Amino acid sequence: MAERKPTPVALPSLFRYFPPGMNIGEILIWESTNALLLIPVVIGLVMLVRWMRGRPIFTERDWLFLFGHPREKVFSLHLWLRFAVLWVAVVLIGFAEGFVLLPFGLAALFGSVFLTALVVWRVAPNWLR
């Protein structure tokens, strides 16, 4: 008679040391939470180290890296108005896509979201200059 492998139910102590793996939803939530919490903490640590060493906390090079525009342009009303208009347009398009295309299935919705993201990716940098 062949020897049977023990099932996980037969080894409950094993789960104490090796819990079952996460599903894809849990992994995505975990990674997005890590990214959203760790990025500001690391930026804060870099600023703290610069402050303690007596160096400028935020240089012009940092502004260009984070925002893509110098400080004067980032704080300009013109840029913020264009950004707000573009944001409202993307939100309205997203709601319209969800309302109209979701009854046709997820493939149609994700296809339109992909096309919208592609258009925004190509148009937004030129429009925000």
Q: What is the pTM of this model?
A: 0.48
Map out the domains of the chain as residue ranges. 22-57, 68-129
Instruction: Express each pLDDT in 49-104 by its tens digit.
Output: 999 999 988 888 888 887 777 878 777 888 788 888 888 988 898 888 888 888 88
Q: Are 48 and 58 in contact (CB under 8 A)?
A: no
Q: Are 22 and 15 in contact (CB under 8 A)?
A: no
Per-residue pLDDT band for 15 (boundaries 50, 70, 90) equals low
Model pLDDT, residue 94: 86
Model pLDDT, residue 6: 55
Instruction: Express each pLDDT in 35-59 by its tens digit.
Output: 888 888 988 998 899 999 999 888 8
How far apart CA 17 and CA 69 sit, in angstroms, is 50
Beta strands in the chain (DSSP E): none
Model pLDDT, residue 123: 83
